[in-house]
C-alpha cells in the first residue's frame, strides 16, 4: 500500500510531465512489480541493514530532482547527449533518466554490495516493458532508451565511469536526496551507536536542499544544515558524486550551517 507521501510525490512528478515522458512515469507508478521491488528494497535497507531510505519515496524524490535539473539545463540551452549526438530528443533523454530514477535502487532488495548491478539485473526486463509501452514498434528508440537507462543506473553510485550528461544528472539527483527525512526511520529504530552511523547522523543534520538556476553556471545547489556533521554528507557523499559526473562544469554548490555564511565548493 502506498503512503500519502508517495501519492504526493507522484502527483508532483506527473504534474510537470506531458507526452511520452508522462506515459512512461504513469506506467511505472502503476506497475505492481516495481512497487513490490521498491518496497522490499526499503525493507532490506532499513530493517535488515539498518541503512537509510532506498525505497519508493527515495526513488521518486530522485526522479523529481532529476526532472528539475533537466528542465533548468534545457532552459539554459544545454543539450543532453542523445540530442547532441543526433540519437534522440530531449524527451527521449528524460524518459531514460526517469525510468532509471524509479529503478536505480531496486537492487537493494538483494543487498548493499554492488546493488547498482543487481538493479540492472532486476531492472532490464522492466525497462524493456517501459520502452515497449512508450515507443511501440520503434525498436531503435527502445534499444537506445534501454542502454541509456542502464548507464544511468550503473553510474548512480559514482563507482563506474559514466560518459553521458544523462547518467551524470541521475548520479547527482541521487546524491541530492539527503534531507533529514531520509534518515528518520533508521534513527528511530536504532539508538545504540555503531560503525557506519555517520551516514545517518550527517543526513539527519541536512535541513534543506534547494535546486535552482544559477548565475555563473546553469545549476545552483544550496544545502543548509543544523549541525556541522552535515558537512560529511556534502564532502563524502555529494561532492564525490559531483566529481564523478560529466555534469560538474554546470554546477554551483553551496553548503553551510543555518545562521552562518555558506561555503562555496564549486
pLDDT for 52 beyond 90: no
pLDDT of residue 48: 93
Q: How confident is the model at residue 203 (pLDDT cuts 50, 70, 90)?
A: confident
Kindly state whether residues 227 and 131 are assigned to the same domain. Answer: no
Kindly state whether residues 154 and 232 are assigned to the same domain. Answer: no
Q: 223-258, pLDDT tens digit by residue?
A: 999 999 999 989 988 989 999 999 999 999 999 999
HEC secondary structure over the chain: CCCHHHHHHHHHHHHCCCHHHHHHHHHHHCCHHHHHHHHHHHHHHHHHCCCCCCCHHHHHHHHHHHHHHHHHHHHCCCCCHHHHCCCCCHHHHHHHHHHHHCCCCHHHHCCCCCHHHHHHHHHHHHHHHHHHHHHCCCHHHHHHHHHHHHHHHHCCCCCCCCCCHHHHHHHHHHHCCCCCHHHHHHHHHCCCCCCCCHHHHHHHHEEEEEEEECCCCCEEEEEEECCCCHHHHHHHHHHHHHHCCCCHHHEEEEEEECCCCCEECC
pLDDT of residue 195: 47
Kindly state whether residues 75 and 118 are assigned to the same domain. Answer: yes
pLDDT of residue 200: 65
Task: Return the percentage of the chain with pLDDT > 70, whole number.
Answer: 92
C-alpha cell at 1: 500500500
pLDDT of residue 181: 54
Q: 166-182, pLDDT tens digit by residue?
A: 999 999 999 999 887 55
Q: Which of residues 122, 151, 175 is at a domain's end?
A: 175
Q: Which of residues 121, 149, 175 is at a domain's end?
A: 175
Question: What is the residue-averaged pLDDT of the chain?
Answer: 92
Kindly state whether residues 216 and 118 are assigned to the same domain. Answer: no
Q: Are strands 219-225 and 251-257 parallel, antiparallel or unpaired?
A: parallel
Q: Which of residues 175, 197, 227 is at a domain's end?
A: 175
Kindly state whether residues 156 and 93 are assigned to the same domain. Answer: yes
pLDDT for 199 beyond 80: no
Kindly state whether residues 170 and 230 are assigned to the same domain. Answer: no
Kindly state whether residues 28 and 141 are assigned to the same domain. Answer: yes
Give the strand order in the sheet containing 251-257: 206-213, 219-225, 251-257, 263-264
Kindly state whether residues 161 and 217 are assigned to the same domain. Answer: no
The structural domain count of the chain equals: 2
The enclosing domain of 67 has a CATH number of 1.10.3210
Higher pLDDT: 50 or 113? It is 113
Kindly state whether residues 170 and 146 are assigned to the same domain. Answer: yes
pTM for the whole structure: 0.92
Kindly state whether residues 58 and 171 are assigned to the same domain. Answer: yes
Kindly state whether residues 216 and 194 are assigned to the same domain. Answer: yes
Mean pLDDT within 211-229: 96
Kindly state whether residues 141 and 256 are assigned to the same domain. Answer: no
Domain that holds residue 162: 4-175
Q: 115-142, pLDDT tens digit by residue?
A: 999 999 999 999 999 999 999 999 999 9
pLDDT for 196 beyond 90: no
Amino acid at each position: 500500500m502506498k503512503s500519502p507521501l508517495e501519492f504526493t510525490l507522484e502527483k508532483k512528478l506527473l504534474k510537470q510531465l506531458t507526452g511520452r515522458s508522462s506515459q512512461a512515469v504513469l506506467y511505472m507508478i502503476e506497475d505492481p512489480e516495481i512497487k513490490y521491488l521498491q518496497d522490499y528494497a526499503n525493507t532490506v535497507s532499513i530493517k535488515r541493514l539498518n541503512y537509510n531510505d532506498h525505497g519508493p519515496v527515495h526513488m521518486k524524490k530522485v526522479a523529481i530532482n532529476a526532472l528539475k535539473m533537466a528542465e533548468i539545463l534545457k532552459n539554459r540551452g544545454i543539450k543532453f547527449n542523445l540530442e547532441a549526438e543526433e540519437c534522440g530528443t530531449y524527451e527521449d533523454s528524460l524518459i531514460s533518466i526517469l525510468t532509471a530514477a524509479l529503478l536505480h535502487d531496486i537492487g537493494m532488495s538483494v543487498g548493499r554490495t554492488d546493488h547498482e548491478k543487481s538493479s540492472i539485473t532486476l531492472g532490464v526486463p522492466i525497462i524493456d516493458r517501459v520502452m515497449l509501452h512508450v515507443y511501440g514498434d520503434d525498436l531503435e528508440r527502445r534499444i537506445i532508451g534501454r542502454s541509456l537507462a542502464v548507464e544511468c543506473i550503473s553510474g548512480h553510485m559514482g563507482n563506474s565511469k559514466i560518459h553521458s550528461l544523462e547518467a551524470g544528472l541521475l548520479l547527482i539527483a541521487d546524491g541530492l536526496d539527503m534531507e533529514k527525512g531520509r534518515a528518520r526511520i533508521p534513527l528511530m529504530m536504532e539508538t545504540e551507536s555503531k560503525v557506519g552511523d555517520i551516514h545517518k547522523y550527517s543526513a539527519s543534520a541536512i535541513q534543506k536542499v534547494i535546486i535552482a538556476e544559477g548565475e555563473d553556471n546553469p545549476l545552483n545547489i544550496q544545502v543548509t544544515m543544523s549541525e556541522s556533521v552535515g558537512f560529511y554528507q556534502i564532502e563524502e557523499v555529494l561532492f564525490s558524486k559531483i566529481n564523478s559526473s560529466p555534469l560538474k562544469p554546470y554546477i554551483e554548490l553551496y553548503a553551510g550551517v543555518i545562521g552562518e555564511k555558506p561555503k562555496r565548493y564549486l
